[in-house]
């Protein structure tokens, strides 16, 4: 009986990349799901005009004005009430069934945050997802 005491050659270390790739894919999926993609929102600048009967450029606009005390006006018509249901009914009537109408929220700088949220909630309820906010340029702030 002869024993084989020959030294075995050391095996080359093998790097298994499959677990590494699995971990990277999980991290990538996590980052994709947790990242918020910010859009550059276009600020609608509304300048005061003297001619109230001038037709707007886009007939699919619904302008919702919010006063500092919380009163609402939709397309120059005062809204009776301040509930979301009343606003939703008025927005539905103003959109005339069109889902492509753009809702422009023109809120007073001192209006309550809840008043703006009510308009956004009412627009969501009637299926009007296109919203923008009217602003003034900083040079015209305080101008009559």
Domain assignment present for residue 46? The answer is no
Domain assignment present for residue 81? The answer is yes
Strands 131-135 and 102-107: parallel
CATH of residue 85: 3.30.420.270
- The total number of structural domains that make up the chain: 1
Domain assignment present for residue 105? The answer is yes
Question: According to the model, what pLDDT value does residue 13 have?
Answer: 81
Domain assignment present for residue 90? The answer is yes
Domain assignment present for residue 20? The answer is no
In the chain, count of helices (H) and strands (E)?
3, 6
Domain assignment present for residue 26? The answer is no
pLDDT, tens digit, 9 for 90 and up, residues 21-80? 999 999 999 888 887 655 444 444 444 444 444 445 556 788 888 888 888 888 888 888
CA 133/CA 64 separation, integer angstroms = 10
Better-predicted residue by pLDDT, 10 or 91: 91
Give the position of tokens 């001619």.
51
Domain assignment present for residue 16? The answer is no
pLDDT, tens digit, 9 for 90 and up, residues 126-135? 888 888 887 6
CA 117/CA 17 separation, integer angstroms = 50
| Phi, psi (deg, nearest 5) at residue 102 | -95, 125
Domain assignment present for residue 44? The answer is no
Residue 96's domain comprises 59-137
């Amino acid at each position: 009986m002869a024993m084989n005491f020959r030294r075995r050659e050391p095996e080359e270390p093998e790097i298994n990349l499959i677990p590494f790739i699995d971990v990277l894919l999980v991290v990538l999926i996590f980052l994709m799901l947790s990242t918020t993609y910010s859009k550059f929102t276009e600020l609608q600048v509304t300048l005061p005009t003297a001619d109230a009967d001038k037709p707007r450029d886009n007939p699919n606009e619904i302008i919702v004005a919010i006063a500092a005390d919380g009163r609402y006006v939709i397309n120059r018509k005062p809204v009776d009430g301040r509930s979301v249901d009343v606003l939703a009914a008025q927005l539905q009537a103003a959109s005339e069934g069109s889902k492509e109408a753009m809702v422009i929220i023109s809120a007073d700088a001192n209006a309550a945050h809840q008043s703006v949220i009510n308009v956004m909630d009412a627009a969501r309820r009637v299926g009007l997802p296109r919203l923008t906010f009217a602003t003034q340029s900083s040079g015209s702030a305080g101008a009559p």
